[in-house]
Structure 1
Amino acid sequence: MSAPAETDSARRARRRGAARLAAVQALYQMDMTGRGASGVIAEFHEARFDQEGDDTALTDVDTDFFDGLVSGVVKNQRDIDGFAAKSLAKNWKLDRIDATLRAILRAANYELLNRADIPARVIIDEYVAVAAAFFDGPEPKFVNAALDGAARRARQGELAGK
């Protein structure tokens, strides 16, 4: 018996999930190397997306979503960092946390602030899953708590009563 065909909505969600994972990797790379967004985006398109025979390649990525996410985070990074820092414990700064977590929070907060077309719960769930792909410890719970607080500030009323 064959598996049921994937719906367009499920395919779009899966492709966006892959784009989010790739965007976090790109943002991390930019943070660690100091390279600019355009060079890193081009590298992902040329060397990381859909490379046949490469077990580490990211396949079936929504590249437009990836491009918009990475470039949007870079363009709005000062505002995003200030907003994301409000979700951290008192006296903690965004630059004090793990670079991967910082990339996750930047991407997620960009979406919360700039992608009203995507429900806050979807954004939170997606980035908790990204955190779980990188960490086995308490980090996914940290991401969940930080993004829940950020979503309540960014999307007043959307998460009310939940």
Structure 2
Amino acid sequence: MSGANKPMRRPAAGRPRLGARVAAVQALFQSELAAEAPEAVIQQFVRHRLGELPGQGGFEEGRVPQADVPLFVNIVRQVAQNAETLDPIVAGNLSGNWTMDRLDPVLRALLRAAAAELWGGKEPPAKVVINEYMDVAHGFFDEAEPRFANGVLDSLARQLRAEEFAAPGG
């Protein structure tokens, strides 16, 4: 099932960084689909979709009640500001005859967000980034897409954070 048509399953409570990543994938998807400027989408999310509404538990209408807002903003901005660098990196790690255009738009947003985090610094560790985005993938998709995402994320991490995998146990 396409991630664009599947409702997001709730991430575990108390994981604001995961919430930020879920929201970043949703915002990147919205920005691409609606051809909206990323900064406008960031502002919409901060005002209307992040945090709980009084008297409601959250996650209604695409809300992300627990989200690390600075991390969310950083991920979306990193993707927007560095798309010309990041997209070829992601595309180079796709298997077979897959292209960026052929990817499900939610999966494309997820891979862009993860690539931005892996490319943009040394923290958190690559394995944490992979695990978090795998949780996001499982929230949007059933079986094939998370397996595909796992392979691409592992390849991206090994390319962008090779030093983390060079050590014993990496």
For the aligned pair, the TM-score class normalised by the smaller chain equals 0.7 to 0.9
- Structure with larger RCO (C-alpha < 8 A, sep 6+): 2
Which residue is 2:42 aligned to?
A: 41
State how far apart, in whole Å, the 2-side matches of 1:67 and 1:147 are: 21
Residue 145 of structure 2 corresponds to residue 139 of structure 1: yes
TM-score (norm 1): 0.87
Deviation at 1:155, TM superposition (A): 1.0
Structure 1 residues 55 and 89: CA distance shift in structure 2, 3 A: closer
Q: Return the index of the structure with the highest Cα Rg.
A: 1
- Alpha-carbon RMSD: 1.6
Equivalent residue for 2:88, pick from 67, 82, 85:
82
- Per-residue CA deviation, residues 67-112 of structure 1 (Å, 9 max, x unaligned), is 1110111000111100001111244321111000000000000011
Amino acid at match of 1:141: R
Which residue is 2:136 aligned to?
A: 130
State how far apart, in whole Å, the 1-side matches of 2:147 and 2:96 are: 18
Higher-helix-fraction structure: 1
Which residue is 2:164 aligned to?
A: 158
Which residue is 1:15 aligned to?
A: 16
Residue 71 of structure 2 corresponds to residue 65 of structure 1: yes
Deviation at 1:128, TM superposition (A): 0.8
State how far apart, in whole Å, the 2-side matches of 1:124 and 1:49 are: 23
Deviation at 1:41, TM superposition (A): 0.6
Which of 152-161 and 135-144 deviates more?
A: 152-161
State how far apart, in whole Å, the 2-side matches of 1:95 and 1:40 are: 22
Amino acid at match of 2:34: T
- Structure 2's unaligned 5+ residue stretches are 1-12
Deviation at 1:55, TM superposition (A): 4.4
Identical counterparts, % of pairs: 40
**What number of residue pairs does the alignment pair up?**
151
- Structure 1's unaligned 5+ residue stretches are 1-9
State how far apart, in whole Å, the 2-side matches of 1:26 and 1:100 are: 10
Amino acid at match of 2:142: D
Q: What does 1:106-125 correspond to in 2, within 5 Å?
A: 106-125=112-131
Which residue is 1:27 aligned to?
A: 28
TM-score (norm 2): 0.83
